[in-house]
Amino acid sequence: MEIRKIRLGNLLLPSNVLMAPLAGYTCYPFRMLAYGLGAGLCCTEMVSANALQYQDRATRRLLITTEQERIRAVQLLGGNPAVMERMAGSELLKDFDIIDINMGCPVPNVFKSGEGSALMQDQKRAAAIIRGCKRSGKVVTVKCRTGIREDDMFAAEFVRMCEDAGADMVTVHGRSRSMMYDGRPYEKEIEAAKAAVSIPVIANGGICSAEDAENMMERTGADGVMVARYGLENPFIFSELTGMPCEKTAFQVVLEQTELTARYYDETYTLGYMKKLASNMMKKRRGTKQYKERLYRSGSLEELREVLALIFDRGNERG
């Protein structure tokens, strides 16, 4: 695929290969890993605007960042335009350059609360949220789906509304809300969305290899791709797609992730995050299943490092 930079307001994304916001995974250490391997943009995990306004401790932990993060983007979830506007412009988010509005989350409790993909059913309210977030002076992007049901897709109409309301970029997950995370993405819907607007449109969904990313770009004409869970299994996908040189082995990556996480988070969080990340990265590695139980039983960073060596320290393997 053709790698190019993307202009968003006064920001210039270094590549058009993006990492999706993933709850429980896209914390500061993982974002730094993806950026180092060539990702053009990484977002925080989904942050609830309602929880943020009460300065919930767990929610504030999602906002950890430093000046080392080249472009800082926070994904904000909410359905109340006034609350979203207030939080987008709040001191809590002062370090972030981009507000990414979640209009695609399909999970039932989010949908029933009128947030995430439910906003696609109420374009007037969705537009008010975009306009309110734009008043923060930050770049505003939107992540949405192709529609609510497979028999009612309206991605092109929805992204036109996003552009009219002031969005700087839209990412379209090629599945409807009813499809959740399964089924072949509707590439034609992404193609139609791209043709409907002048702002950048990013294609997301079903990208499980470099070949998938290339095919998605070719079939949709999108400005870039957003990798989701495959980026956890194979973070090196960013290097493969962008040509960013990388000499690190998988073992070096997990060790660096462990140390960086321990620097900014407590041991309990570090152990939980690293167990999940290691579990994803070891999925297609032969002879490692025998260590999975030991990985999850690790009760200290010392034990964790020992089992990570057993799983990943096998010569100079990258993936």
Q: Which residues are catalytic?
A: 105
The dihedral of CA 61, 70, 87, 76: what is its sign? negative
Burial of 40 from C-beta contacts in 10 A (0-12 / 13-18 / 19+): buried
d(CA 13, CA 7): 6
Bridge partner residues of 147 (DSSP): 153
Burial of 57 from C-beta contacts in 10 A (0-12 / 13-18 / 19+): exposed
d(CA 311, CA 39): 26
DSSP of 216-272: HHHHH--SEEEE-THHHH-TTHHHHHH-------HHHHHHHHHHHHHHHS-HHHHHH
Beta strands 6-8; 11-13: pairing state: antiparallel
What letters, b where the CB count within 10 A reaches 16 and e where it falls short, cover 303-318? ebeebbeebbeeeeeb
Q: Judge whether 126 and 161 are in contact, CB under 8 Å.
A: yes
